[in-house]
A and B are shown apart, each in its own frame.
Chain A
Amino acid sequence: MIESQRHSFHLVDPSPWPISGSLGALATTVGGVMYMHPFQGGATLLSLGLIFILYTMFVWWRDVLRESTLEGHHTKVVQLGPRYGSIPFIVSEVMFLFAFFRASSHSSLAPTVEIGGIWPPKGIGVLDPREIPFLNTPILLSSGAAVTWAHHAILAGKEKRAVYALVATVSLALVFTGFQGMEYYQAPFTISDSIYGSTFFLATGFHGFHVIIGTLFLIICGIRQYLGHLTKEHHVGFEAAAWYWHFVDVVRLFLFVSIYWWGGI
């Protein structure tokens, strides 16, 4: 990669991708509502919206990599943009997942008569929190340790070590997802089995989805580290991935304590 330019100005080109992404999101939302209700053409609009968003993601990230890695336009002041952007993004993710925790505690703190007045509802065979849930939590925490290892290796200029550390991070993440899949496969209840199944699969499922997103994010960082895109002084993409990964880790701790453990006994 070339060194960032040695001035303190924000000299990146205006980008069409924010508005194109917004239009894709609008088409996806409207198409999604149309698809789930009796409207003609909902599936088409939904598919077009999703394709539009995926296309925008591809070209936007392609442009960011070009202007930072190849053109050296990501000066210190330009790096502040994605840094400040990551914070509200993660905060919004916290609020998103908080809603599912709230739904779960709302339903479990005062169980209604419709589910037998008890939590877990009568007839629900819950998962033992001491089995896969207790195994998967330290797996994800170890993955968090490995990403910290990668971060210090990048800062110390140990490029190969950083690649190894990211391979360890991603491997642990994949093992986590594998065990989560096994847990879902063995679960004696489904998402349509009472409010317990709904809140359980909504919360753990969205967390699992975030683990998959974080894994993809870290795979990209690993490839970029291998290609020499990340340097001691400039690795904003990696830092954002590490923040995201720690966020996913913390959510897992709350899931384990409140949904698997407290909500399952």
Chain B
Amino acid sequence: MATALVRSRLLRTALRGGARGSAAPAPRRSFSSSSQQHDEYETAKWEKITYLGIATCSVLAFYNLSKGHPHHEEPPAYPYLHIRNKEFPWGPDGLFEDKKHH
């Protein structure tokens, strides 16, 4: 008798979602337990993080673009480079493979 009582109470608590009990407010959204205030706080926080990210990337981009890019020397014609097995419908080279401008 007592065991059955305990078991049914345990079951009811589990079904209700842990130890929240009946005092807990009904969930507003089924996939989130967040409140309006919490969402506003998070919105402001992530807005700041985004601005910080944009600022960091801008500095990095400026630094990167001011450096210019290195020019590589043409390697010897090793057999595993510039592989050509058969022609494409438009010719022997891939559409984006023209490297002569470097």
B50 in contact with A168 (CB, 8 Å): yes
- Contact segment of B1-9, B16-24, B33-41: B33-41
Please name all residues of chain A whose beta carbon is closer than 8 Å to the beta carbon of B47 when the two chains form the complex: 149, 161, 165
B43 in contact with A158 (CB, 8 Å): yes
B43 in contact with A123 (CB, 8 Å): no
Please name all residues of chain A whose beta carbon is closer than 8 Å to the beta carbon of B96 when the two chains form the complex: 184, 190
A192 in contact with B84 (CB, 8 Å): yes
Given contacts A190-B99, A191-B97, whether A135 and B57 have CB atoms under 8 Å apart is yes
Q: How far is the CA of A153 from the CA of B69 in the complex (A)?
A: 40
Which one of B57, B94, B102 has the greatest number of beta carbons of chain A within 10 Å?
A: B57
Which one of A123, A157, A189 has the greatest number of beta carbons of chain B within 10 Å?
A: A123
Please name all residues of chain B whose beta carbon is closer than 8 Å to the beta carbon of A184 when the two chains form the complex: 96
Choice from B32, B82, B84 contacting A155 with Cβ under 8 Å: B32
> Does B75 sit within 8 A of A, measured CB to CB?
yes
Please name all residues of chain A whose beta carbon is closer than 8 Å to the beta carbon of B32 when the two chains form the complex: 155
Q: How far is the CA of A20 from the CA of B42 in the complex (A)?
A: 43
Choice from B39, B42, B79, B94 contacting A191 with Cβ under 8 Å: B94
Q: How far is the CA of A128 from the CA of B69 in the complex (A)?
A: 10
Q: Which interface class (under 10, 10 to 19, 20 to 34, 35 or more) fits A? A: 35 or more
Question: For residue B74, which residue of chain A has the nearest CB?
Answer: A188
> Does B76 sit within 8 A of A, measured CB to CB?
yes
Q: How far is the CA of A148 from the CA of B64 in the complex (A)?
A: 27
Please name all residues of chain A whose beta carbon is closer than 8 Å to the beta carbon of B82 when the two chains form the complex: 190, 192-193
Given contacts A123-B81, A188-B102, whether A128 and B70 have CB atoms under 8 Å apart is yes
> Does A131 sit within 8 A of B, measured CB to CB?
yes
> Does A170 sit within 8 A of B, measured CB to CB?
no
Please name all residues of chain A whose beta carbon is closer than 8 Å to the beta carbon of B40 when the two chains form the complex: 152, 156, 158
A142 in contact with B83 (CB, 8 Å): no
Choice from A123, A149, A179 contacting B75 with Cβ under 8 Å: A123
Q: How far is the CA of A124 from the CA of B73 in the complex (A)?
A: 10
> Does B80 sit within 8 A of A, measured CB to CB?
yes
> Does A125 sit within 8 A of B, measured CB to CB?
yes
B60 in contact with A135 (CB, 8 Å): yes
> Does A233 sit within 8 A of B, measured CB to CB?
yes
Please name all residues of chain B whose beta carbon is closer than 8 Å to the beta carbon of A189 when the two chains form the complex: 81
Question: For residue B102, which residue of chain A has the nearest CB?
Answer: A188
Map CB proximity to A onto B89-101 as digits: 1 under 8 Å, 0 otherwise: 0000010110100
B64 in contact with A135 (CB, 8 Å): yes
Nearest CB in chain A: distance from B75 CB, A: 3
A142 in contact with B54 (CB, 8 Å): yes
- Give 27 A-B contacts (CB < 8 Å), ordered by A residue: A114-B79, A114-B80, A116-B78, A121-B78, A123-B75, A123-B81, A125-B72, A128-B70, A131-B64, A135-B61, A142-B56, A152-B39, A153-B43, A155-B32, A155-B43, A156-B43, A158-B40, A161-B43, A186-B102, A188-B72, A188-B102, A190-B82, A192-B94, A193-B80, A193-B82, A194-B78, A195-B80
Choice from B30, B60, B72 contacting A76 with Cβ under 8 Å: B30
Given contacts A152-B42, A158-B43, whether A138 and B57 have CB atoms under 8 Å apart is yes
> Does B25 sit within 8 A of A, measured CB to CB?
no
